[in-house]
Structure 1
Amino acid sequence: MKKFSTSLFILLLAAVSSVYAQSVEWGLKAGVQMTQFMGSDFEGVLATSSSRTPEKISSKGGSTFGYTLGGYVRSTENVFLQGELLVSVKGAQLERLSTSTKTSVQYGQLDIPFSIGYKHNQFEISGGPLLSVQLFENGTLKEFLSQYSNTPLSFSPYKSYAFGYHAGIGAHFNKLGVNLRYLASIQPVSDMYISYTTAGSDPQLRESLFQQNFGSLQLAISYRLSK
């Protein structure tokens, strides 16, 4: 999938270059972002607990800061096309509602946004599809979900990739650019079924689905390398 995403990005760059062979610019891009999981609460029973009463865990524990770094290529027309390749470190918080304790998780993705936009003087608006490919994780989410499993997890709860969208506004000042945008996945970036047994004289095995998308508010600065 990572090879596919890289090939897709190269094809997008080739498309931009072929259409605007005499008017293409490229450069570097870096910024900060505030990201959180978006999804429903799920239920689980701690493997170490003597109680069989399930507790609720929420993904609305809050946002965490991360950063993004990469490059871009774009046409220089008023109606422009732009492709980007960005390594993005993201995060989220999970909250055990019964104890109000929060756990922060962190993961990294290769974000490949493709944009169509309109530029007027120094200002612009843009948006388009997004492909996010999983790169790495710090293991916190896996450890957190393992608490609700009878055996330690042997696999990552993160998905290999997710499609999404992005939209934002920006301004350019000579070679520098500033962009504020919102990015979100329309497919889950992580999912796992949590199994637990209910209490009582007639215990039953139940499953609760942990499945989360991401939403990210990103502020980035770009620097044009081409003339």
Structure 2
Amino acid sequence: RGASIRELPEGGGGGGGGDPTAALKAVDLLERYAPDRHTAKARTGALAKLLTWQLERPLGGGEALCHQSDYVTMTLIGGPKKCGAGGGAGGNGGNGNGNGRSVSSDWHNCLKLGYDVRELTWPSWLLSCLEEGAGMSDPLSRLPSRVVSPGEPIGSLHPRYCAQYGVPETCVLVGGTTDSNAAFFAAAEGRWEKGTAVTSLGSTLAIKMLSGGYVEDAERGVYSHRFP
């Protein structure tokens, strides 16, 4: 979570050990602001977690949300710089969260955070949910400032890591994807035709199929990613 680390209280929990009803309030906000059947309504999704953290204890000046892959990419590009040790707001291409490090993500990881994969933007309902509903100041500074297509170049590997691991300085880091989407790309092997489907088994059974239309029904666990 974030480019600035928030320690968890003893006994676990999602944030600063504040209001125990924060998760219930987060679910209520999702029902009020998110469009019907939107996948961001999922109670275990990234947006629900972000709302819960904000309601437990408002995000501070150096805190922003990033997925695990975003955090790793940010570190590999920016070098071994302590979290939150950057310059002023937006420094070095940052997203205005005061840590001086830009958080980049991808279409697939950001889908359940509420990113509009058709318009390729953070939608107004999401920003209203965070600002009006959860009291978050400047919500855009808490979200990834750049959301790219899976496979799209983001930046080059930091010279220190190139030297440390013997990697060419031409090494480029690209936008990632999710586990079941990665399984689809690997198993489909270039058969990019409508109706091509792949199942993958992890903690749940995921079914991915290329479709010509956008379908979404959070109540049934159905949602659409954007194909790169």
TM-score, length of structure 2 as denominator length = 0.23
TM-score, length of structure 1 as denominator length = 0.23
More helix by percentage: 2
More RCO (CA 8 Å, sep 6+): 1
- Report which of the two structures shows the higher radius of gyration computed on alpha carbons: 1
More strand by percentage: 1
